[in-house]
Amino acid sequence: MHRPVYILEALGTCTESDREVEVCASAEGQHDANRGKLVVSLDCFVRPVGLTEKETHRHPDWLPTPERLEEGVPEEDASAMVHDIFRGWAARVRAALAAEHARRIGIVPG
């Protein structure tokens, strides 16, 4: 894995200040051959859905905090591991979005 692997996925939408935003999760992974480690940066954010607005990324408090992981892994397994790590991260972000929806409609106290 000589090149970084970058994954970005829009996971759903919600409303903020009377406008629709989409919730995104991302992962960027790079294998450090000198150390034999995979370094993965995980992030999530909301951005405007409409094409008429300038794209900005915001990180509301209800989203998981960005993370940086290091795993000892052979270079040939690094790309697959980035995808595996991202699947778990995306599940956490989806769960946060579902919890926020539930809080907004009054299912859970917030």
The full set of domain ranges for the chain reads 5-104
46 CB-near residues (< 8 Å, 6+ apart): 14, 16, 21, 22, 23, 24, 57, 58, 59, 60, 63
What distance in Å separates the CA atoms of residue 8 and residue 30, rounded to the nearest whole number? 15
Q: Which amino acid is at 109?
A: P
Of 87 and 19, the one with more pLDDT = 87
Which of 13-17, 22-26, 95-99 shows the lowest mean pLDDT across its residues?
13-17
Tell me if residue 91 falls in helix, strand or coil.
helix
pTM of the model: 0.87
